Chains A and B, each alone.
Chain A
């Protein structure tokens, strides 16, 4: 199984609905998600994805929002005044741009800020840097849906380096 397949596989155990805003680190996952049991809606902006995921949860789905961490700044209001306010669970699966191996200078400001923002917002998150850690997504996702909380995953570029 490739890294992308492993991630889809662990998501499928807990998730049946996804919204996404693309990132080239996530391109493989977004391609493979079409062949999974997860209903996938590409959205125009991260905050919109938060709204659709909240509605899908109310209607009985278990949602994930797949996005680049640079878009985290676009969704904070809805994440707190909708998702958290109503105690709606949500999994955020983010590529961690602006970290080790980043070549695009514009990615650094949010790349450095996002872990600190997650801490400030008291959102539990895990960083996945190697293939052997992908299984940790399972427990985090179960925690999100058992406790009705937002939980986040940062996927490091090093994760895919293993494959290349």
Chain B
């Protein structure tokens, strides 16, 4: 499974929900598969995807899916403990764990060695943590979600599709996203 497969499975399920996508190829691949006002593409602030999604899920009632990465969540591990204690049931964090900093040249991260994100997330207080290895497992994990926040660790290959840089301005991404929520 590659990152883009995770995105495709998610898009098959997410419908009208909100999606916050991580800086770099997570956002670029999401944009190339399906652009829409419900997508908040991060263009900077590496590490902040899980936090932006948390604020969003606390502030409004639509479901929030966050597409984060292993390198980024390792940069903001405290976020998992805040999620464990405060995230509401409309919060779903998908960590695309390819054991690499995909957008900067696939430099290896610690999850390819000893670090286990599943155990870190559980230890942080998150009750629903699932690790998935293929599209079928991922779909099942997303569809079986009933209550409480959910964290999915999606184990993938380190692979970036050749997709262009997002041509939208940050302010236009924000404005159409806010309008979509208010509709």
Contacts A48-B51, A87-B171 given; does A41 touch B82 at CB 8 Å: yes
Q: Give the nearest-CB partner of B62 in chain A.
A: A59
Minimal beta-carbon separation of B177 from chain A (angstroms): 6
B55 contacts A54, C-beta separation under 8 Å:
yes
0/1 interface trace, chain B 1-38, chain A, CB 8 Å (1 if under): 00000000000000000001000000000000000000
Closest-by-CB residue of B relative to A40 is B86
Shortest Cβ distance from residue A87 to the other chain B in the assembled complex, whole angstroms: 5
Q: Report the number of A-B residue pairs with Cβ-Cβ less than 8 Å.
A: 119
Question: Is A135 close to B, CB under 8 A?
Answer: no
Bound form: Cα–Cα A49–B54 in Å: 10
Stretch with Cβ within 8 A of B (4 or more), from A7-15, A74-82, A119-127, A137-145: A74-82
Interface string of A48-67 (1 = CB under 8 A from B): 11111111111111010000
User: In whole angstroms, how far apart are the Cα atoms of A47 and B45 in the complex?
Assistant: 9
User: Closest residue of chain A to B51, judged by CB?
Assistant: A51
| Residue A85 at the chain B interface, CB threshold 8 Å | yes
- The 8 A CB mask of A76-113 against B (1 = contact, 0 = none) is 01101110011110000000000000000000000000
Taking a contact as CB atoms under 8 Å apart, the answer to whether A56 and B59 are in contact is yes
Is residue B107 contacting chain A, with contact meaning CB distance below 8 A? no
Q: Which of B44, B57, B76, B81 lies in contact with A81, CB distance below 8 A?
A: B44
> Across the interface, do B59 and A44 meet the contact criterion of CB distance under 8 Å?
no
The reply to whether B58 and A39 contact each other, CB–CB distance below 8 Å, is yes
CA distance A51 to B56 in the complex (A): 10
Contacts of A77 in B (CB 8 A): 44-46
Instruction: Write the chain B residue with the least CB distance to A17.
Output: B59
Q: Are A86 and B171 in contact (CB under 8 A)?
A: yes
By secondary structure, the B interface counts as helix
**Contact status A58-B174, CB under 8 Å:** yes
The chain A residue sitting closest to B43, CB to CB, is A85
Interface size class of A (residues with CB under 8 A): 20 to 34
Task: Give A residues with C-beta under 8 Å from B.
Answer: 17, 39, 41-45, 47-61, 63, 77-78, 80-82, 85-88
Apart from A60-B60, A81-B44, A86-B174, 11 more pairs, CB < 8 Å: A43-B82, A48-B48, A48-B82, A50-B48, A51-B50, A51-B52, A51-B55, A59-B181, A82-B44, A82-B52, A85-B170
Interface residues of chain B, those whose CB is within 8 Å of chain A, are: 20, 40, 42-60, 76, 78-79, 81-82, 86, 170-171, 173-174, 177-178, 181-182
24 A-B pairs in the complex with CB atoms less than 8 angstroms apart: A17-B58, A17-B59, A43-B82, A45-B78, A47-B48, A48-B51, A50-B45, A51-B49, A51-B79, A54-B48, A56-B56, A58-B52, A58-B55, A58-B181, A59-B55, A59-B59, A59-B60, A60-B59, A78-B47, A81-B44, A82-B44, A82-B48, A86-B170, A88-B174
